[in-house]
């Protein structure tokens, strides 16, 4: 640790907490008077400039956590601080200003895009909403963003319905980057992409992070991708955080049975190994049941 006076107080320090969530609780109604504990005492700290990986089985609460962090979900209790500000208690104006600094790429790319708008309009929308630049600078920025995600000018006038799943996903990523945010939530954002485009986008995200000091919350079911991207990894199960640690800790020595199970289930791109792995997993499950 450096002495406190070594850095000027104003400059945000890399590694300082950016998003701090404490004791988040959320229940949803499940019908017949039953409730679902979607978040059960979730606490986490995301540091400036890092990629925080979130993994866990389908329905474990990953997307719900991310919505809570962005102030998009009314909580039963708990607190979320973004850069020192309590997100849950902000007025509309303050929230609007904060929104600019935090962006999200949603899990379902088709549903998240307005199907009546063209690609250029979709990517320009946040710029317009926040009154950034004039028409010409906005158009230039849109072109630059589309180029970044590997979509040439030919896609400018396409509508979401006229594009493939992976192309829609890249439009969503371009839109999220439009306002130069500090914090971006990427919820299964590269899952719909083929390996090569996925690699391009992951390289791009890491590059932007290095250049601009971006902070990511990265949700993915793909542990190989998580390992490559995240410095800190958090494992969720049934609305709770069951394990949290550095990449090396998690991948080198997972302590929880549950985490070890996830690791063992990573598919391999080799037909013989993969078939054998899946059959023995199925057998093991059959014996356990």
Partner 1 sequence: MTTETVLDVRDLCVSFGEIEPVRGVSFALRRGERLGLVGESGSGKSLTALAIMRLARRATLRGEVLLEGRDLLKLKPREMERIRGGRVAMVYQDPMSALNPVFTIGRQLEEAIRLHGIADRSAARERAIELLDDVGVPHPARRVEQYPHEFSGGMRQRVMIAMAMCADPAVLICDEPTTALDVTTQARIMDLLDRLVDERGTAVMLITHDLGVAAGFCDTVQVMYGGRIVERTEAEPLYGTPLHPYTEALLGAAVDLTLDLDQPIPTIGGQPPLAGRLPQGCSFHPRCRYARDVCTAQAPLLEEVAGRLVECHLADERAAAAKEDTHVGA
Q: Which lies closer to ligand ATP via its Cβ, residue 48 or residue 62? A: 62
Of 67, 179, 60, 59, nearest in space to 112 by CA: 67
Separation between Cα atoms, residue 123 and residue 121, nearest integer Å: 6
Tell me if 165 contacts Mg ion by CB under 5 A: yes
- Which residue number places its CB atom closest to ligand ATP? 166
111 binds, among Mg ion, ligand ATP, partner 1, none (CB under 5 to 8 A by kind): partner 1
Q: How far apart are CA 278 and CA 136, in angstroms?
A: 54
Give the binding-site size for ligand ATP (rule: CB under 6 A): 19
Which of 63, 169, 215, 220 is the binder for Mg ion (CB under 5 A)?
63
Residue 171 site contact among ligand ATP, Mg ion, partner 1, none (CB < 5 to 8 Å, cut-off depends on kind):
none
Among 60, 189, 232, 237, binds ligand ATP (CB under 6 A): 60
Which residue's CB is nearer to Mg ion, number 107 or number 169?
107
For strand 77-82 and strand 17-31, is the pairing parallel, antiparallel, or unpaired?
antiparallel
Three-class DSSP category at 22: strand
75 neighbors 25 (Cβ within 8 angstroms): yes
- Tell me how far apart the alpha carbons of residues 270 and 268 are, in angstroms, rounded to a whole number: 5
Measured from the CB atom, is 38 or 229 closer to ligand ATP? 38
Residues 107-146, one symbol each (x = binds Mg ion by CB under 5 A, - = not), give x---------------------------------------
- Could you list the beta-strand ranges (E) of the chain: 17-31, 34-47, 51-56, 77-82, 85-86, 102-105, 183-187, 215-219, 232-237, 240-246
In the complex, the smallest distance separating the C-beta of residue 275 from ligand ATP, rounded to whole angstroms, is: 24
Find the part of the chain contacting ligand ATP (CB under 6 A) among 93-101, 165-173, 249-257, 273-281.
Answer: 165-173
Piece of the chain touching Mg ion by CB under 5 A; list 37-45, 94-102, 163-171, 203-211 = 163-171
Q: Does 63 bind ligand ATP (CB under 6 A)?
A: yes
Query: For 246, how many CA atoms within 13 A lie in the half-sphere containing its CB?
Result: 3
Can you say how many angstroms the Cα of residue 284 is from the centroid of all Cα atoms in its chain? 33
Residue with Cβ nearer ligand ATP (39 or 87): 39
Residue 215 touches Mg ion, criterion: CB under 5 A: no
Contact string 64-93 vs ligand ATP (x = CB under 6 A): x-----------------------------
- Closest to Mg ion by CB, 165 vs 245, is 165
Q: How many residues bind Mg ion (CB under 5 A)?
A: 4
198 binds ligand ATP (CB under 6 A): no
- Cβ atoms of 84 and 251 within 8 Å: the answer is no
Rg of the chain over CA atoms, in angstroms? 20
**Contact predicate 47/18, CB 8 Å:** yes
């Amino acid at each position: 640790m450096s002495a406190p006076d070594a850095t000027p107080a104003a400059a945000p320090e890399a590694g300082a907490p950016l998003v701090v969530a404490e004791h988040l609780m959320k229940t949803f109604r499940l019908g017949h008077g039953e409730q679902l504990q979607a978040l059960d005492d979730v606490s986490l700290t995301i540091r400036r400039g890092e990629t925080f990986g979130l993994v866990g089985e389908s329905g474990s609460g990953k997307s719900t956590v991310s919505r809570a962090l962005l102030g998009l979900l009314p909580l039963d209790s708990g607190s979320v601080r973004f850069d020192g500000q309590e997100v849950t208690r902000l007025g509309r104006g303050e929230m609007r200003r904060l929104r600019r600094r935090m962006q999200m790429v949603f899990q379902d790319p088709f549903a998240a895009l307005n199907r009546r708008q063209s690609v250029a309009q979709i990517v320009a929308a946040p710029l317009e909403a926040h009154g950034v630049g004039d028409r010409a600078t906005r158009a230039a920025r849109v072109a630059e963003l589309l180029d970044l995600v590997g979509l040439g000018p030919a896609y400018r006038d396409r509508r979401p319905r006229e594009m493939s799943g992976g192309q829609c996903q890249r439009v969503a990523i371009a839109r999220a980057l439009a306002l130069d945010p500090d914090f971006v939530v990427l919820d299964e954002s590269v899952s719909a992409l083929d390996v090569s485009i996925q690699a391009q986008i992951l390289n791009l995200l890491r590059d932007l992070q290095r250049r601009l000091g971006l902070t990511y919350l990265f949700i993915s079911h793909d542990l190989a991708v998580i390992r490559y991207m995240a410095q800190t990894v958090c494992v969720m199960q049934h609305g709770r955080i069951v394990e949290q640690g550095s990449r090396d800790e998690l991948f080198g020595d997972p302590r929880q049975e549950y985490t070890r199970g996830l690791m063992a289930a990573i598919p391999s791109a080799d037909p013989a190994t993969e078939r054998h792995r899946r059959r023995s997993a199925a057998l093991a499950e059959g014996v356990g049941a």
